DNA sequence: CAAGATTGAGTCGTCAATCTTA
DNA sequence: TAAGATTGACGACTCAATCTTG
């Protein structure tokens, strides 16, 4: 029941973002690159998204094929590869994050004011604990 | 934020079930077979789990390889294949569903009584709407 | 040896195409 | 033609093994 609800939520958000030609995973990568204000090593991205390094390799492969990100050398460590967001990546990020925010907004509007407060508090606790 | 919470929930439940050598998907299939009280056609299973038929084919492939399910002919329709849970499948189901229930229980215990009521109501609305 | 990235294999999901049977 | 199941190709994730560089 809890599981089913959780899957429903994810499916709704995924679908909202798909109109911008993005998946939640790809949007998440772009989000971190934009917020960082500059290119990031793949290993740092993997840490921040709490995923395995090999997964980030594959994600950047796809984003690079889409033209939303470019791999550039790290001048300070030749082992490292930096992910750099492109102009097109920035445009897609804007579009996708707006769609995501709208869907979350719409989600909360299905709750009463009291439920909104309770749920927000619950999310904070869950995301911290 | 909502997304992150949803993923955390799923990861917790998945991990709890993993100790029984099951994934949430496999447990879900076994659950429907047990509750049905007899073998079910793959197409029915796919409907009930709200997934695509080809996914059920693969799931049953894995469950059959694990020895938890057997494919048997449907005497009433030669196009149809029935999934039949084995004794070992039943044991694993018991173990996995207990672990899942415990984890959901533990999850709710992190909430106040008032929050529990609110959240349960919220889940009902989400799962119906 | 340890860290960064990649590759290969496996799980769980999708869709599109195919094959058999109704 | 449609229903039931399967296969193949893909997206997103995991782990284990490998290669290069520190």
Q: How far apart are CA A1 and CA A126, in angstroms?
A: 18
Q: Answer yes or no: do B6 and A6 touch at CB < 8 A.
A: yes
In order of A1, A80, B129, the CA distances from B69 in angstroms are 24, 47, 33
According to the model, what pLDDT value does residue B129 have? 54
Q: How far apart are CA A79 and CA A101, in angstroms?
A: 37
Q: Answer yes or no: do A119 and B118 touch at CB < 8 A.
A: yes
Which residues, other chains included, contact A28 with Cβ-Cβ below 8 Å and sequence gap of 6+? A49
According to the model, what pLDDT value does residue B7 have? 79
Q: How far apart are CA B127 and CA B124, in angstroms?
A: 5
According to the model, what pLDDT value does residue A121 have? 75
Query: pLDDT tens across A11-46, in order?
Result: 889 999 999 999 999 999 999 999 999 999 999 999
Number of A/B CB contacts below 8 angstroms equals 68
Query: pLDDT tens across A65-108, in order?
Result: 999 999 999 999 999 999 999 999 999 999 999 999 999 888 88
Q: Say how far A106 CA is from D18 C1', in Å.
A: 47
Q: Answer yes or no: do B1 and A110 touch at CB < 8 A.
A: no
Residues A71, A29 contacting (CB under 8 angstroms): no
Please tell me if residue B125 touches chain A, with a CB cutoff of 8 Å: yes
Q: Which of A48, A104, A113, A126 has the most B C-beta neighbours within 10 Å, making it the best mutation to test the interface with B?
A: A126
Answer for B32: CB within 7 Å of strand C: no
Q: Answer yes or no: do B24 and A3 touch at CB < 8 A.
A: yes
Phi, psi of A72 (to 5 degrees): -130, 155
Answer for A43: CB within 7 Å of strand C: yes
In order of B11, B60, B104, B111, the CA distances from B20 in angstroms are 15, 18, 16, 27
Please tell me if residue B2 touches chain A, with a CB cutoff of 8 Å: yes
Q: Say how far B81 CA is from D1 C1', in Å.
A: 22
Query: pLDDT tens across B88-122, in order?
Result: 999 999 999 999 999 988 888 887 787 777 777 76
Residues B96, B59 contacting (CB under 8 angstroms): no
- In Å, how far is B107's CA from the nearest CA of chain A? 10
Chain-centroid distance of CA B89 in Å reads 13
Question: Is the pTM value of this prediction over 0.75?
Answer: yes
């Amino acid at each position: 029941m809890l599981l089913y609800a959780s899957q429903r939520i994810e499916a709704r958000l995924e679908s909202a973002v798909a109109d911008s030609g993005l998946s939640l995973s790809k949007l998440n990568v772009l989000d971190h690159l934009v917020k960082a204000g500059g290119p990031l090593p793949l290993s740092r991205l993997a840490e921040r998204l709490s995923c395995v390094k090999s997964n980030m390799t594959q994600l950047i492969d796809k984003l690079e094929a889409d033209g939303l990100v470019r791999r550039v050398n790290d001048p300070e460590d030749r082992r490292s590869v930096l992910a750099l967001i492109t102009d097109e990546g920035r445009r897609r990020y804007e579009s996708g994050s707006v769609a995501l925010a709208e869907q979350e907004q719409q989600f909360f509007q299905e709750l009463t004011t009291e439920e909104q407060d309770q749920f927000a508090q619950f999310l904070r606790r869950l995301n911290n604990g």
